[in-house]
């Protein structure tokens, strides 16, 4: 069994590198964000709506909790499960 340990360690290192690469890819698409980037991401997310003030308010609120903003100005919520699944008391979407 001791002979397999270096092999397992190599496997873990490779998996870690792949996970880091994928996280940078997702971040580059504007999905997962740091709290400091929420305003910028939400400004873009809400740039095409006529209801900018409530859109930005709820987008920033959702971003700070979920640390995720879907790419684009509409749709793609499936890329941010927390953002997508947060509902109002009436069952409607909380996050724009």
Residues 49, 93 within the same domain: yes
| C-alpha distances out from residue 19 to 30, 35, 87, Å | 17, 21, 30
Domain residues for 7?
A: 1-30
Q: Per the structure, how many domains does the chain have? A: 2
Based on C-alpha coordinates, what's the Rg of the chain?
Answer: 18
d(CA 24, CA 4): 31
Residue 89 CA from chain centroid, whole number = 23
- Asked if the model's pLDDT at residue 13 lies above 60, the reply is yes
Please check whether residues 23 and 61 belong to one and the same domain. no
pLDDT per residue as tens digits for the range 44-96:
999 999 999 999 999 999 999 999 999 999 999 999 999 899 999 999 999 99
28-45, pLDDT tens digit by residue?
454 788 999 999 999 999
Considering the domain architecture, whether residues 45 and 86 belong to the same structural domain is answered as yes
Q: Is the pLDDT of residue 23 over 70?
A: no
Q: Which one is predicted more confidently, 12 or 37?
A: 37
Question: What confidence score (pLDDT) does residue 35 get?
Answer: 92
Closest by CA position to 96, among listed 50, 54, 36, 34? 54
Asked if residue 19 and residue 37 are part of one domain, the reply reads no
């Amino acid at each position: 069994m001791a002979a397999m340990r270096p092999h397992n360690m190599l496997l873990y290192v490779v998996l870690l590198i792949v996970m880091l690469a994928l996280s940078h890819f997702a971040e580059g698409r504007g999905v997962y964000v740091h709290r400091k980037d929420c305003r910028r991401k939400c400004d873009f997310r809400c740039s095409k709506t006529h209801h900018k003030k409530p859109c930005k308010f709820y987008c920033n609120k959702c971003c700070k909790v979920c640390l995720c903003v879907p790419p684009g100005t509409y749709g793609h919520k499936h890329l941010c499960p927390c953002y997508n699944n947060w509902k109002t008391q009436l069952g409607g979407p909380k996050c724009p």
